[in-house]
Structure 1
Amino acid sequence: MATTNHSLVTDFILEGLTRCPDLQLPLFLLFLGIYVVTVVGNLGMILLITISSQLHSPMYYLLTHLSFIDLCYSSVITPKMLVNFVSERNVISFLECMTQLYFFLIFVIAEGYLLTVMAYDRYVAICSPLLYNIVMSHRVCAIMMAVVYSLGIFGATVHTTRMSMLSFCGSHIVSHYFCDILPLLTLSCSSTHINEILLFIIGGINTLAPTLAVIISYAFILTCILHIRSTEGQSKAFGTCSSHIMAVGIFFGSITFMYFKPPSSNNMEQEKVSSVFYTTVIPMLNPLIYSLRSKDVKNALKKVIGGRQSS
């Protein structure tokens, strides 16, 4: 239904990951498994931190919010994608598309800033351990999280408002399995110059600002670690940062690969793989990274399992 007025557009067609019918069922089962692991992993992390007193620290308070964001982040995208695998015609309404885009942007922007806050938390823990409980008090953490969610809502509101004001014409096939900004911009028949500028400015700020903040934090952390004389102390300090470094590298690496590359290098198949990775795989990986690499989480899980078995 091609039209010249965006107010008359009723739906978009999602092209999906593949046009091969034989791959639809295997992909459905694969991503269903990923989503189940994501939900169980993130909900499990939230419940474990909530019931385990030994995990009631600022670092795990922030990790709770990371798990919550990952859970919501994945739930915005994956259920619709699963439906598309078993549907003959993959259609999403204009309102549903804008709603999906809005909540997707809230959580992806919020996760970037939350990872920055977590880097600052590691900086304080390693460089100023005696002041850690004062600097990272519950009140300070709550304020930081309010700022994180506010930045996500602000960025999402600006982008989605501008997208909903565009006129769409010609073929209205969205080249991804969800309503991403870039495919929607290519479908617009009205001027997208302002939207492209907003995407560059806000997207650049929301990627570069957290990345620079994380780099600066870890520059100070590395300096402090190098001043630790004992090898055991250095190893322990590096161990407290390793999980976060992996999460930051995977998240910002995939975002940068997806959105910040020359137009001449655009490849639809690469974009699909990249978008799949940061929208479905990363929310599954984060709880696995933190649970497998954190001794505190492992010990808390053992106590919970041991307590249930003894009862």
Structure 2
Amino acid sequence: MSKVLIVAEHLNGELNAATAKCVSAAQALAPAVIDIVVLAADPAAVAAQAAQIAGVNKVLSVTNAANAHAIAQVQAPQIAALAAGYSHVLGPSTTFGKDLMPCVAALLGVNQISDLMAVDGAHAFKRPIYAGNAIISVQAPADQTVVATVRTASWPEAAQGSSASIEAVSVDAALPRHTRFVGLAAGATDRPDLQSAKRVVSGGRGVGSEENFKIIYALADKLGAGVGASRAAVDAGYVPSDLQVGQTGKIIAPELYVAVGISGAIQHLTGIKDAGTIVAINKDGDAPIFEIADIGLVGDLFQILPELEAALG
């Protein structure tokens, strides 16, 4: 029977929703055990949150000052040491997971499976290729530990309400000194994180300028939504690159996605294909975005968005 170890993603004492999505992927394996490992300088709060995820058997709590910041080269040796006895080690296909899990796979001497989106068996999986335009079946060696990143857009969050046991563990692993934390540069915002937001409002080239992008932020604030952008908007300098949604940006699956002034290039559609309800607002009625939108509004975004805001109260 499979035994799965999931690496928890967290920041500032808050567990990222991507961890619960990894649990859903793990449950598809029908394993004997699903454990979560939390690495931090003080993991108590995050471990308590992880213990509430349904289906989790045990939370391994690793306390180490070196884990104060999520540095892949520091955490990977610890995870590789803990992987003994587990058949699968999973992490989210987020910036955190994409940085960390290849290091874990390298230390274990196995190939990583990226963007796991479906489980066909204990060692058989599906993952997207060609920007999501094709799905490939992957067979991992049965005699090796499976190390994989989970495509969070393809899995729901596992339910809450459990009370798994929490076990403090120590890890005997040599930690490198060649990589150290210098600083974290991130824009301060009260809006939801783009990759975990239930609602997202994105702007494209049609918004016209950095100044005009304020209208996107205003609607997002009304909806309690995260803010995204197309690559065209990022390349034009309207917003920073961390807001980019699409093949070369973030792959997201919010319950509601509002695309404003976005034509719908295939690279952008790749990033939102698993979204729940897609609303498109564009003055070009022939824009490709309308082919996949659930609700389409053809018109001037500078007229429609203020009307939407007013209707939202």
Q: TM-score, normalised by structure 1?
A: 0.24
| Greater fraction helix | 1
Q: Which has the higher contact order (CA 8 A, sep 6+)?
A: 1
TM-score between both structures, scaled by the size of structure 2 = 0.24
Q: Kindly indicate which of the two structures has a greater share of residues assigned to strand.
A: 2
